[in-house]
Amino acid sequence: MIKDIIAAINKGENFLITSHIKLDGDALGSELALYLTLIESGKKAVVYNEDQTPGHYSFLPAAEKILHELPDVNDFDVAFILDCSEIERVGDKAKEIAKIKKIINIDHHISNNGFSPLKLWDGQASSTGELMFRLFKQMNISMTPEICTNLYAAILTDTGGFRYASTSKDTLWVAGNLVEGGANPQWISENIYESDAPAKIFLLKKTLETISLDMENQVGSLVVTKKALAETGATYEHTEGFVDILRSVKGISISVLYTQLDDNLYKLSLRSKGKVNVEKIAKMFGGGGHVNAAACRIQGEIETIKRDILKAVRETR
């Protein structure tokens, strides 16, 4: 399949690159690495994202090139849909993007629905960034420090700093190659993990007041409310990392972050340890992801949603 993707790249002239809403480091790093690779190969490329780039990823090389208004899709030969298990994840313009005659999906979510026959998919890969590295190696391109920086950021964030079970010897070998190619681990980590706005700390303070431990302290949860966001001046991007706080507590096998999007709409971020599969839980509510990291959206009152999630946890154990 990689050979077919390379053939499509060689034949194409204009490329659209996009990823999912609620951008993370893997999505952005993979997009920008591909953008730089195509541009340096003499191709024309555009990175389009529905959502704005979170502030702590603005340092990534070429981040300033990202567009948030979709150009005329008739201008593109190929669309790359990165880090998406289904095309709808790109947002409101999904149907328009789907009109582009050749769609290439590069993804590592086990919930991938196979929306594109031309794809590079591996549910065991640590990140889409790791898959992009495989592609670039097959293309025999010389990866610049800027490309290496983007791919390192992609892998670093989706492995939780190389802590998650998806981190394999191959993942670490790839990361080593990227460092050799010019990625600076300390500088990248400082920008991503040590550049929080004061508003995030105040939001965390309020969110910690919502801690709930259930099922004999095996399931921990936090709730981010619209009221807390408004009172602290924080935004949704400032909730990144909150779900991992309770997972760090001994005895907790599943942590859930409930983020209020509307009066009766919540986004759920689920994390787990070991072989506890939260993807099954997310899938029960129309979501998906990975064994140890998944997400979904649920409408309803928060207490009802919590009860439904705990019931799902019991049913999937």
- DSSP notation for 34-88: HHHHHHHTT-EEEEE-SSPPPGGGTTSTTGGG-BSS---GGG-SEEEEES-SSGG
Average pLDDT over residues 217-222: 97
Average pLDDT over residues 241-248: 92
Per-chain mean pLDDT for the chain:
96
Confidence of residue 279 (pLDDT cuts 50, 70, 90): very high
13-52 residues labelled b (16+ CB within 10 A) or e (exposed): ebbbbbbbebbbbbbbbbbbbbbbbbeeeebebbbbbbbe
pLDDT digits (tens, 9 = 90+) for 98-124: 999 999 999 999 989 999 999 999 999
Stated pTM of the model: 0.89
Confidence of residue 165 (pLDDT cuts 50, 70, 90): confident
Residue 312 belongs to what H/E stretch?
helix 302-316
pLDDT digits (tens, 9 = 90+) for 34-79: 999 999 999 999 999 999 999 999 999 999 999 999 999 999 999 9
Average pLDDT over residues 81-99: 96
Which pLDDT score is estimated for 249?
A: 92
Average pLDDT over residues 133-158: 97
Percentage of residues of the chain with pLDDT beyond 70:
100
Confidence of residue 317 (pLDDT cuts 50, 70, 90): confident
Percentage of residues of the chain with pLDDT beyond 90:
93
Confidence of residue 127 (pLDDT cuts 50, 70, 90): very high
Average pLDDT over residues 288-299: 92
The distance between the two most distant Cα atoms of the chain, rounded to a whole number of Å, is 59
Q: How far is CA 312 from CA 46, 280, 283, 296, in A?
A: 41, 9, 10, 13
Instruction: Name every residue whose Cβ is closer than 8 Å to that of residue 168 and which is 6 or more positions away in sequence.
Output: 124, 126
Query: How far is it, in rounded angstroms, from Cα 269 to Cα 277?
Result: 13
Domains observed in the chain: 2-193 (3.90.1640.10), 198-316 (3.10.310.30)
Which pLDDT score is estimated for 90?
A: 97
Which pLDDT score is estimated for 274?
A: 86
pLDDT at 213 over 90: yes
Confidence of residue 9 (pLDDT cuts 50, 70, 90): very high
